Amino acid sequence: MSALFDNLQVLFQGLALGSIYALVALGFVLIIRATNVVNFAQGDFAMLGAYAIVTFLVGLQLPYVVSIILALLVMAVFGMLFNLGVYYPLRNRSFLPVIISTLGASIFLQNTVLAVFGPQPKPLDKILNIDGIQVGGVFLDSQYLVILVVTLFAVAFQYFFFEHTLLGKKLQATSQDKDMARLLGIPVATMIAITFIYSAALGGLAGILVAPILFVSIGLGSIIALKAFAATIIGGFGDVTGAIVGGLLLGVIESFAAYYISVPYKDAYAFLALFLFLLLRPQGIFGERVSEKA
Amino acid sequence: MKAEELKAPSAGASQGKLIALLVLGALIPLLPFLIPVSQYTLNIFMNAVTYAVAVLGMVVVLGYTGQINLAQAAFFGIGAYSVALGTVGWGLSFWMAAGSGIVAAGLAGLVLGLTTLRLGGHYLAMITISFQQIFDLILVNWVEVTHGPDGIAGIPRPSVFGFVLADDRFYLLFCVAVLYACIAFVWWLPSTRLGRAMRAVRENELAAEVVGVHTLRTKVFAFTLSAMLGGIAGALYAAGFAYISPDNSSFARSIEFLTMVLLGGVQSPFGGAMGTVLLILLPEWLRFLKQIYLAIYGLAVILIMVFLPEGIWGLVRGGWRKLVPERVPPRRSVPPLDFDAGRVADGKPIMRITGLQKHFGGLRAVDGIDLEVARGSVHALIGPNGSGKTTSLNVVNGIYSPTGGQIVFEGVDVTAMKPHQRAGLGMGRTFQNIRLFQSLSALENVMVGAQRDNNPIPGGRRGLEDRALAALDFVGMGENVHMLVKNMPYGHQRMVEIARTLAGHPSLLLLDEPGAGLNQTEKQELVALLLRLRGHGLTIFLIDHDMGVVEKVSDRITVLNFGKKIAEGAPAEVLRQPDVIAAYLGEAPVHGPA
Amino acid sequence: MAPDKHKAKIAARSGYLTNFMGEQSMAVRILGRAMAAAFAALALSALAADPIHIGLVNETTGPNAEAGQYTVNGARLALEEINAAGGVLGRQLELRIEDNQSTNPGTVLAYSKLLGEGGISAIIGPIRSTQVQAASPTIAKSSIPSVIGGTDPSLTKVNNPWIFRARPNDGYSSRVIADFAVNSLKLKKVAIVHSTDAFGSGGMAALTSALKAVGVTPVFVQGYTNNSQDFTPVVLALKKSGADVLATYMTNSPDVGIFAKQLRQLGVTIPWVGSPSLVTDTAMKLAGSALHSTFAIADFTPGANPEAKAYAEKYKAKYKLDPDVYSAWAYGALHLLAAAMEQAKSAEPAAVRTGLLNTCGFKSVEGKYCFDKNGDALHGYNVVKNENGRVVFIKTITFESNK
């Protein structure tokens, strides 16, 4: 019985971590689709979101809901600035300069936050007032439950937004064929800006949600982002469903491998899984055949 | 610009400058012997010199070959740990340990390079990061072998001919000598076959493959070389600082190497070395900035990307060129282009296609085509938009693998072959949207075409160059052979592309809408050129929309519609057939996108 | 008292002077010497007030900048006290701080920069063991004593006569943990959880052998990589092991926080004795109630002795921060150096070295400093308990030094 509960506990933990990866991966995927470029500062969006909420909630003592809304607004504005500063000037160049530019942005953001907030990690209250609930022999952390639910909502919202709203369809058109979208009179630059805004808010949300568990620190986003990126590839490069499934799968693989094989190599399993996927099924679970040829 | 830079300076004046530079370069590492230099300065330079060697690897893989590598610190670590474990743990000599470290790094690079078989771009970024992270975890956790996070101390200095380089000044001198040797190698590399192939891959991988470059092998070589340079750097570093630990080869260090090469200039070894020295010194100079120093570092990376794509070296060289205008070396004259080498005259069809199919999901772009191209003929493939012409061509030439059917070329079944293998058998091709190597000169572009496998020309650089010049002469582009093709007008680029193919002695020339985008005068020139080629007995298989061009040059026409052949024969009869006219009716603009 | 360093400098200068004037006649040379001596005597009186320079190689930037700032705080506080009390040997002390960017190569560079500038009497070195490892060859060549805070036992055992340690090493921390668990708590089924970094792995190895010395084999040993986001597998395995006491060597505060919370969530309540990271301010803030009732060992505890008590009050008053080991050890180290110089009656590096070796019984924040032949000054730890977020001193466990 206890072995079963232990396995369930490991599974829950894996899904919970996986849903964080998935949430960040969603932001990745949106930008990949819109610009064909991987944003290596995506994890820092989460880090910034966490610092934003800590500022409002702890610094200014605002209520939780208000703090979340304000933090998301800040992230939206930041997304716009990020687009203008990091992507827009390089939009006509190949993917390589853009990748490197986002790497630079990541270094810049982490160290700016370090200079402003100092290096001490900060604690943050959970959204719900209870620590968690005990179901049989399994402890369900309330924050992880919130994360699972929010991830579900984010996916549903994203689906509705892209498939059933005009703006969403314009965004889709932009991500599929920029030239064609331009011919149809869609303001491509604006669409890309919106993508960055949305993606920054989404990344920020991930940070806000995860902060009570992993605490608010400079490195909060980095390791999550690498895993999330691995998730996007495992799921299928640029595929929304793939990002979710990939994220969850990665979380679960990691969790069980740590439990059954070895804890110190926990971070290696994700990359090992990625390696195998890249070699055996580079298109990912849901992806079309890879054709990144010139 | 690259091309000239790589030419041996022919005039005495520039030779003088070069010698002056060399003497200056040789003097710098001797300075510590002449004037007192603090330990701190020696350490800083030892750091810079060893890192610079690793950064040269980035020049090869990223600058020349255009492949992103975020694991250079791991290769550095392999070299460093080999020296540390070899000398401290197993009592090997530095040379043995360093040698095996460099080989091990090379092997790791080779394996990583092989993954580029299927993956490029972002995937490569990710796979190199993964490799870097796993390497890091192993260094930290596999304590029995790596000594774990404690690292390894007490690494001895090497000895040269019995003289132990214990004095930092001598060791620095040694490191600088290695660095200079590596710079010379990396500087010389682009003018070699491999170097040209690398740059061709960077500029346009697909075109490189099609004109006969073994792109996978080229990328694997690039990764291997890059990794070996990383290994050399690590070996030098370990013996220099006598201590090595996992954070010497962390992901952050890889990013540092990347930033160094970008800052200095990714396409030149001098730029790479300069970027390294700058980024080592900058933190020392900027120490007063303390906390925000790294933030500025990050900001600098973005600004370099936006404003200085060629790095500081590009800026320096640009400024220098303004002061001292470039001298274009006179080109030599060569005998006219030879078409006869390796020619077969067996009267059999040069290519036979049977039951060729290519489906994309439910779309049957090519749906069972049979076709024969007679040797020495000009064969045109026409059809309305979406009839499967370009797809057919892409399958013939190996860019797509067919869903079904067979292609026999020169009596060989090439159906499963890669494009570069087909090029090696004499299949040449041009593209509808010109695919030249934009940042290479016209001459270099054509030389890449000439260096395909089995090309029946005299070997060596001279042979390649002669062939390329002859091909350029043939298409009327014999002037300005050193001009970068991106600075050429469209019509000229098209001619250079044809010359690139001709330089490879193709027995079959595939032309994908050679007339697209040309004005009337240029079109007439094209027709004349094609007729000249036909006159030389070259077999041509072409697609074009312009019936004027097709009619003037073709011996035989095949008409496609909805992926199937609907007519075939001599131009005059085919173009009069009612179903051909029907297929084109209302839909056939003379110049339309395919 | 004439400072030796300047004597040496001036002697060198007068030698130069004679050479310069030399080769003419003996008379001139003697005259020269006499002049130089007179000059030196004059200069000495003028230079007597020159400050003594103490280097501080420290983490001003990089991931450990937080701790680095505290170290500077502690050293500055000691500096002000010493200077306010008239300095050392009648001269003021001056700190020369060099950033090592929290990295090993950075440490080597910072050291060589300090040494290159010259005129340093002693150096307060890093608190991270690997950084000391990296700088060890440089320190050996420097012939200037370095007082370090890295606690890896091997650091002072590499035949480097210039390395001194102003903190107890992990050999003692593990002996104290073992002693406390087995003899005070009377618990023998020990589980060890440790970070796989240098500190954690070293601590685990030392603890295992310390337990062996008291006849106990740990029932569970588990490492984890720093910045783990989830400790569920560790906690579940720990539960299964049947351990009745948990000993930890953890490095980062967030890891402590996450691990502590998950332990409590999954119902682990066995006594927990940890390395000093359990009672850092940050870890206690992050973990909150999850760390209540845990034990930790600490080389610095505000309540452990009068010196520590006084220091804690001054530090709090000056910086409005709670004192911690990062600040305290540096405070102690600088006072220690000052005492050694006073005792040797010289700020000459070699004399400072002898002064340090002869120091025994000097009292400061971390207790009684008594150097053994390896250069280790402290030989025990305090055990403290987290009582509802307050760190309460339990006892000090000290071992005989092998002097």
Say whether A217 and C63 touch across the interface (CB within 8 A). no
Say whether A13 and C230 touch across the interface (CB within 8 A). yes
- Name the neighbours of A, counting chains with at least 3 Cβ pairs within 8 A: B, C
From the list A95, A97, A104, the residue facing B121 with the nearest CB is A95
pLDDT in tens, C181-200: 999 999 989 999 999 887 88
pLDDT in tens, A216-230: 988 888 778 888 888
Side-chain-side CA neighbours of A140 within 13 Å: the count stands at: 14
Q: Is B283 on the interface with A (CB under 8 A)?
A: no
Closest CA to B591 of B385, B380, B392: B385
Model confidence band, residue C35 (pLDDT cutoffs 50, 70, 90): low
Q: Is A264 on the interface with C (CB under 8 A)?
A: yes
Give the separation between CA A18 and CA C131, rounded to whole angstroms. 36
Say whether B140 and C223 touch across the interface (CB within 8 A). no
Find the angle CA(B416)-CA(B419)-CA(B421) to the nearest 5 degrees: 75
Q: Where are the domains of chain A?
A: 2-280
Residues facing residue C96 across a β-bridge: C55
pTM: 0.80
Q: Write phi, then psi, for B374 (nearest 5 degrees).
A: -75, 140
For chain B, the average pLDDT equals 84
A93 to chain C, closest Cα gap in Å = 33
Q: Write phi, then psi, for B507 (nearest 5 degrees).
A: -90, -20
Residue C8 in this model has a pLDDT that exceeds 70: no
Say whether C201 and B148 touch across the interface (CB within 8 A). yes
Cβ atoms of residues A230 and A249 within 8 Å: no
Closest CA to C259 of C291, C231, C240: C231
Contacts of residue C253, Cβ cutoff 8 Å, sequence gap at least 6:
A120, A121, C277, C280, C282, C283, C286
Q: Is B125 on the interface with C (CB under 8 A)?
A: no
Give the separation between CA C391 and CA A16, rounded to whole angstroms. 34
CATH class of segment(s) B349-584: alpha beta
Contacts of residue B361, Cβ cutoff 8 Å, sequence gap at least 6:
none
B335 or C178, which is more confident = C178
Strand ranges for C138-263 from DSSP E? 146-148, 163-165, 190-195, 220-224, 245-249
DSSP-derived secondary structure letter, B516: T
- Name the neighbours of C, counting chains with at least 3 Cβ pairs within 8 A: A, B
C-alpha of A199 from chain center: 8
Q: Is B251 on the interface with C (CB under 8 A)?
A: no
Closest CA to C239 of C297, C193, C289: C193
CATH of domain C54-168+303-371: 3.40.50.2300
Contacts of residue A124, Cβ cutoff 8 Å, sequence gap at least 6:
A50, A53, A54, A57, A58, A211, A212, A215, A216
The reported pLDDT for the residue numbered C6 is 43
Closest CA to C228 of C258, C192, C260: C258
Classified as helix, coil or strand, C70 is helix
C35 or A23, which is more confident = A23
Q: Is A139 on the interface with C (CB under 8 A)?
A: yes
Query: What CA–CA distances, in Å, run from B408 to B48, B211, B370, B405, C239?
Result: 56, 19, 11, 10, 69
H helices then E strands: how many in chain B? 25, 14
Burial B346-376 (b: 16+ CB within 10 A, else e): eeebbbbbeebbbeeeeebbbbebebbbebb
Query: What CA–CA distances, in Å, run from B176 to B28, B30, B48, B188, B277?
Result: 9, 10, 10, 18, 13
Place of tokens 């609907």: B566
Say whether A271 and B134 touch across the interface (CB within 8 A). yes
The reported pLDDT for the residue numbered A208 is 93
Place of tokens 């679970």: A285
The reported pLDDT for the residue numbered B288 is 62
Homologous superfamily (CATH) for C171-298+384-398:
Response regulator (3.40.50.2300)
B576 or C306, which is more confident = C306
B486 to chain A, closest Cα gap in Å = 15
Say whether C103 and B40 touch across the interface (CB within 8 A). no
Residue C10 in this model has a pLDDT that exceeds 60: no
Residues facing residue A138 across a β-bridge: A135
For chain C, the average pLDDT equals 84
Give the residue numbers in C contacting A (CB under 8 Å), as ranges.
63-66, 196, 222-225, 227-230, 232-234, 236-237, 240, 253-254, 257-258, 265-267, 282, 285-286, 288
A248 to chain C, closest Cα gap in Å = 15
A282 neighbourhood in chain B, CB within 8 Å: 118-119, 123
pLDDT in tens, B495-540: 899 999 999 888 899 999 888 888 888 888 889 989 988 888 889 9
Length of chain B (residues):
594
Return the residue of C nearest to A210 by Cα: C229
Residue B144 in this model has a pLDDT that exceeds 90: no
The reported pLDDT for the residue numbered A26 is 87
Residue B347 in this model has a pLDDT that exceeds 80: no
The reported pLDDT for the residue numbered B315 is 86
* Diameter over CA atoms, chain C: 92
Closest CA to C177 of C304, C326, C298: C298
Contacts of residue B403, Cβ cutoff 8 Å, sequence gap at least 6:
B357, B358, B359
Q: pLDDT > 90: what percent of chain B?
A: 27
Model confidence band, residue B15 (pLDDT cutoffs 50, 70, 90): low
Residues facing residue C245 across a β-bridge: C190
The reported pLDDT for the residue numbered A261 is 84
For chain A, the average pLDDT equals 85
C394 to chain B, closest Cα gap in Å = 32
Q: Is C233 on the interface with B (CB under 8 A)?
A: no
Model confidence band, residue A69 (pLDDT cutoffs 50, 70, 90): very high
Residue B3 in this model has a pLDDT that exceeds 50: no
Q: What mean pLDDT do residues B249-256 have?
A: 85
A121 neighbourhood in chain C, CB within 8 Å: 253-254, 257, 282, 286
A212 neighbourhood in chain C, CB within 8 Å: none
The four Cα atoms C113, C117, C119, C124 give a dihedral, to 10 degrees, of -20
The reported pLDDT for the residue numbered C34 is 53
CATH topology for B41-323 is ABC transporter involved in vitamin B12 uptake, BtuC (1.10.3470)
Residue B14 in this model has a pLDDT that exceeds 50: yes
A263 neighbourhood in chain B, CB within 8 Å: none
The most confident of A69-78, B7-16, B272-281, by mean pLDDT: A69-78
Name the H helices within C266-348. Answer: 281-287, 306-319, 325-344
A132 neighbourhood in chain C, CB within 8 Å: 265
C224 neighbourhood in chain A, CB within 8 Å: 263-264, 266
Cβ atoms of residues A176 and A186 within 8 Å: no
CATH class of segment(s) A2-280: mainly alpha
Say whether A111 and B121 touch across the interface (CB within 8 A). no
Q: Tabulate helix, strand, coil % of chain C (nearest 5).
A: 50, 20, 30
Interface test with A, best of C194, C236, C241, C322 (most A CBs within 10 A): C236
Give the separation between CA B503 and CA C276, rounded to whole angstroms. 73
Say whether C137 and B40 touch across the interface (CB within 8 A). no
Residue A207 in this model has a pLDDT that exceeds 90: yes
Model confidence band, residue A71 (pLDDT cutoffs 50, 70, 90): very high
B247 neighbourhood in chain C, CB within 8 Å: 103-104, 130
DSSP-derived secondary structure letter, B56: H
Closest CA to A211 of A198, A202, A220: A220
Q: pLDDT > 70: what percent of chain C?
A: 87
pLDDT in tens, C260-310: 999 999 989 999 999 888 888 888 989 989 999 999 998 888 888 899 999
Classified as helix, coil or strand, A124 is coil
Terminal CA-CA length for chain B: 35
From the list B44, B143, B294, the residue facing C201 with the nearest CB is B143
DSSP-derived secondary structure letter, A80: H
Terminal CA-CA length for chain A: 56
Return the residue of B nearest to C66 by Cα: B291
Residue C21 in this model has a pLDDT that exceeds 70: no
Give the separation between CA B444 and CA B442, rounded to whole angstroms. 6
Residues 67-96 of chain A whose Cβ lies under 8 A from any Cβ of chain C: none
B224 to chain C, closest Cα gap in Å = 27
Tokens of C61: 């930037």
Return the residue of B nearest to A114 by Cα: B291
Closest CA to A293 of B415, B215, B430: B215
The reported pLDDT for the residue numbered C159 is 82
Interface test with C, best of A13, A216, A259, A269 (most C CBs within 10 A): A13
Length of chain A (residues):
294
Residue A291 in this model has a pLDDT that exceeds 80: no
C276 to chain A, closest Cα gap in Å = 17
Closest CA to B389 of B152, B558, B540: B558
Closest CA to A162 of A187, A193, A198, A188: A198
Closest CA to B502 of A266, C118, B282, B494: B494
Residues 412-471 of chain B whose Cβ lies under 8 A from any Cβ of chain A: 435
The reported pLDDT for the residue numbered B121 is 67
pLDDT in tens, B217-228: 999 999 999 999
Q: Which helix (H) or strand (E) element contains residue B171?
A: helix B168-188
Tokens of B71: 């694991």
C225 neighbourhood in chain B, CB within 8 Å: 137, 140-141
The reported pLDDT for the residue numbered C208 is 93
Give the separation between CA C120 and CA C349, rounded to whole angstroms. 8
Cβ atoms of residues B489 and B432 within 8 Å: no
Question: Out of A267-276, B87-96, C127-136, which region has the weakest mean confidence (pLDDT)?
Answer: A267-276
Say whether A265 and B141 touch across the interface (CB within 8 A). yes
pLDDT in tens, A85-136: 888 888 888 777 888 888 889 888 988 898 888 878 888 988 888 888 888 8
C192 or B44, which is more confident = C192
Burial B14-41 (b: 16+ CB within 10 A, else e): eeeeeeeeeeeeeeebeebeeeebebbb
Question: Out of A55-69, A266-280, B187-201, B557-571, which region has the weakest mean confidence (pLDDT)?
Answer: A266-280
Q: What mean pLDDT do residues B288-316 have?
A: 79
Q: Which helix (H) or strand (E) element contains residue C122?
A: strand C120-124
Q: Where are the domains of chain B?
A: 41-323, 349-584
Cβ atoms of residues A167 and A194 within 8 Å: yes
Return the residue of B nearest to C105 by Cα: B248
Say whether B119 and A294 touch across the interface (CB within 8 A). no
pLDDT in tens, B261-274: 988 888 889 999 98
Question: Out of B328-337, B448-457, C243-252, which region has the weakest mean confidence (pLDDT)?
Answer: B328-337
The four Cα atoms B432, B437, B442, B448 give a dihedral, to 10 degrees, of -100
Place of tokens 């001193």: C393
Burial (CB < 10 A; 0-12, 13-18, 19+), residue B83, is buried
Q: Is B247 on the interface with C (CB under 8 A)?
A: yes
Q: What mean pLDDT do residues B363-385 have?
A: 87
Give the separation between CA B81 and CA B146, rounded to whole angstroms. 8
A159 to chain C, closest Cα gap in Å = 29
The reported pLDDT for the residue numbered B13 is 53
Query: At what angle are helices C65-84 and C306-319 packed, to 10 degrees?
Result: 110
Q: pLDDT > 70: what percent of chain B?
A: 92
Query: What CA–CA distances, in Å, run from B490 to A213, B481, B486, B493, B517?
Result: 59, 15, 9, 5, 8
The reported pLDDT for the residue numbered A294 is 27
The most confident of B49-63, C116-130, C142-156, by mean pLDDT: B49-63
Residue B44 in this model has a pLDDT that exceeds 90: no
pLDDT in tens, C311-369: 999 999 999 988 888 999 999 999 999 999 999 999 999 999 999 999 888 989 988 89
Q: Is C262 on the interface with B (CB under 8 A)?
A: no
Q: Is C137 on the interface with B (CB under 8 A)?
A: yes
Model confidence band, residue A288 (pLDDT cutoffs 50, 70, 90): low
The reported pLDDT for the residue numbered C76 is 94
